[in-house]
Structure 1
Amino acid sequence: MASSAARQALGKSMYYVKRPSKWDKGYGAYLPQAYRKFFIEWRVKKPEAVHYIENKNRYWRDENTGLVYPVQNRPLPLKFPKEQDEGLWGGEAVIQGFTKKDRYHRRVPRFWFPALQKSVVYSKVLDKYLRVTISDRTLQLIHANYGFDHYILKTPACDLRSKLAVKLKRQILTALADKTLYPDDPVKREEVYDDYKQYLSAYTREEIEWYGLTFEEACEKWKKENVSTKKTVPLKIELRAKLIEELKAARGSELPTIEDTETSLLSKIKSLNPFSSSSKTD
C-alpha cells in the first residue's frame, strides 16, 4: 500500500516542472548568501500590521451566538508609490478602497493617504541632519525608540518599506563596523560606538556590504567584482600569430606579417572575381 502511494506521488512530481526564477539564471544565480539574507528580510518576511489590528489567536467566539470561527487576518489592499522610497513613511502606504455618500448612491473608488510632512531628523552615528518626507507614525516610532539611529537599526527592512531607509541603515552599520564615525573626536567616537555596537552582532561584515541593495544593484556589484573587463582577443588570431612566429624562427627568414597576408589574399580573391573590372577582357 505504501509503495503504491509512493508511486503515485512520484508520478505527480514528474509532471511538475519548477519555473526558473531570477535566482536560477543570470547573475542572480551567483549572488552570495549575504545578499539573499537581506532580500528575504526585505521582500519575503511578513511585515508588521500597520493599517489593521492583527489578532494573534487562531479562533474567536461570537458572544451572541456562542459559535467559534477561525481568525482571518486579511491585510488591506495597499499601494506603494515610488515616492515612498524617497521618504520615511514608517510602513504606511496608500489605502485603496470605496466610499458611499449614502445608501442610495453607488460606491466610488477612494484612496487614503498617510499624513506626511517635511521634517529634519538627526543621525547621531553619521553626525548628519537629514531633511526628508516623513509620516506621523515614523516620528512616533523615532521618539519611542529614543532616537533616529535606534529606530533604523532595530526595525527590519520589511517594516522600513523604503529604499532610502535601508540605504541609511547600511551607511550606519558600515560606519559602526569600520569605526569611521567622528574621525576628529576619538572620545565622542568611542562613546557613540558603545551605545550602538550591540546592533553589529546580527550582521557579518559581508552582510553589511550587501545590505540595502536592490536586486539590480546587487547583480551590478557582483558583475564589477567578478567579471573581467579586459578585452578578449579571438583565439584564431592568437594561434595564427603564434604559427607565423614559429615559422619565422624555424626558417630564419622574414615572413610576411598578418596584415600583408590578408592583403595578398584579398587581392587574389578580387582577381578571381569574374565581375571585377580587372578581369574583363577587351
Structure 2
Amino acid sequence: MNSRVFKSLGKLNTLAVFEKGTGALLPEAYKKFFKEWIIQKPASVHYIPEVEKWKRNELTGEVKPVQDNPIPLIFPVEYNNQLWGGEGIVQGFQKRSELKRRVPHFWVPTLRRSVVYSEVLDKYMSVVVTDRAINLINSNYGFDHYLLKTSACDLKSLLALRLKRRILKDLYNECPAYEKGSEKQKRIMQEYGKYLSSFTREEVEWYGYTFPEACKKMEAILAEQNKPVPLKNIYRMELFEKLKAEKISKENDPEGIKVSDSPSSWLQKINPFGRKQET
C-alpha cells in the first residue's frame, strides 16, 4: 500500500491499519518507519510555507488568517522506480491568452537518465532522476549521504527507500563490498558509520517496506516459527535419547544391566517385522 492509497483515506486515521489482522502483529520497528514515511510532514518543494498565522494587507490594512495548505501532488506508478527528489506532478489551470478561457495543465518535472555511485555498495546505478535530485545529491556531497540524511517522507519513492535499507544493512555488516580490514573499508565505516546511531538492527530489517510487503514478511516469519515438525524427526530424537540413556547407565553399572535391556534387544521389541523370541 503506497502513500497515494493512504492519502485517499482522507480524514481517517491511517494508523488504524495496525489495530487488526496481520497489521496488529507488526513490530514497533516497522511502525516507526511507517510514521516517518506516511505520517510525518514532508519538506515543502513547490511552495514557500508561511511562518505567521496572520497576515496584514498593506493596502487595506485588513488582517486575515493565513491558510498554509500544501499544493496537492500526483505521483504516477513509474515514480517508485525513479528518484524525483520530493518533486511531483502539479495539476492546475493555465490561461494562455487574455481572450481565451483557462485550460487544464500539468506541470511535470524534467526527467533525465543519469548514473549515481554508492560508495558503501561500491556500485554505479543508472536511474531516472530530476534536476532537484541531482542538486540534493551534490549538496549532500554524495549519493549515500543524501539517502542516509533524508527522511523517508522526503525520499518517497520505493527505489530510494530500498537502496537506503540496503546501504544500512551493509554498514551493519561492515561493508562486505570491500576487503575486510582494508584502508578503504575503514575509511567508509568511519565516514558513514555515524548514521547507524539512529537505527537499530531490527529497524533496518523493517525499513523501506510497504504495508502489504511488511504483512507478507510477518506472515512468512510466523509460518517459519509455527512450521510443523515431522513425526519421524521427533521419534528419531527420542530414540537417540533412549539409546544415549542406555549407554550411560551401562557405563555406570555394567554388571547390573540385563541382556534383555541392551539396545539390540530393545530394538527387536519395537520392530514389528522382527522374529519373535522363543519362550
**TM-score bracket, shorter-length normalisation:** 0.7 to 0.9
Q: How does 1:1-282 map to 2 (within 5 A)?
A: 21-184=16-179, 186-227=182-223, 228-230=226-228
Residue 238 of structure 1: aligned partner: none
The CA deviation at 1:197 is: 1.2
Match for 1:137: what amino acid?
R
- Name the CA distance, whole Å, in 2 between partners of 1:19 and 1:155: 22
Corresponding residue SS for 1:69: strand
- Write the letter of the residue equivalent to 2:90: I
The count of residues paired between Structure 1 and Structure 2 equals: 216
Are the counterparts in 2 of residues 96 and 111 from structure 1 also a CA contact under 8 Å? yes
Q: Match for 1:50: what amino acid?
A: V
**Residues 65 and 181 (structure 1 numbering): CA distance in 2 closer, same or farther, change over 3 Å?**
farther
> TM-score normalised to the size of structure 2?
0.73
Deviation, structure 1 residue 73:
1.5
1:106 is displaced (CA, Å) by 2.4
Do 1:182 and 1:188's aligned partners in 2 also have CA atoms closer than 8 Å? no
Partner letter of residue 87 of structure 2? E
Partners of 2:147 and 2:27 in 1: how far apart? Answer: 24
- Distance in 1 separating the partners of 2:195 and 2:51: 28
Indicate how the Cα distance of structure 1 residues 59 and 112 shifts in structure 2: closer, same or farther if over 3 A, else same.
same
Shift of 1:110: 1.1
Which region of structure 1 is more displaced relative to structure 2, 160-169 or 53-62?
53-62
- 1:108 alignment partner AA: V
Give the root-mean-square deviation of aligned CA atoms: 2.1
Tell me, what secondary structure is at the counterpart of 1:226? helix
Tell me the SS of whatever aligns to 1:21. helix
SS across alignment from 1:211: coil
* TM-aligned CA distance change 1:62 to 1:179, over 3 Å: same
What SS class does the counterpart of residue 17 from structure 2 fall into? coil
- Structure 1 counterpart of 2:132, which letter? R
Q: 1:67/1:20 Cα in 2 relative to 1: closer, same or farther (>3 Å)?
A: closer
CA distance in 2, matches of 1:213, 1:199: 20
The CA distance in 2 between the partners of 1:155 and 1:183, in whole Å, is 25
Q: Contact 1:77 / 1:97 at 8 angstroms: preserved in 2? A: no
Aligned residues of 2:120 and 2:167 also touching (Cα < 8 A): yes
Q: Percent identity?
A: 50
Residue 31 of structure 1 contacts residue 218 of structure 1 at CA under 8 Å; is this kept in 2? Answer: yes
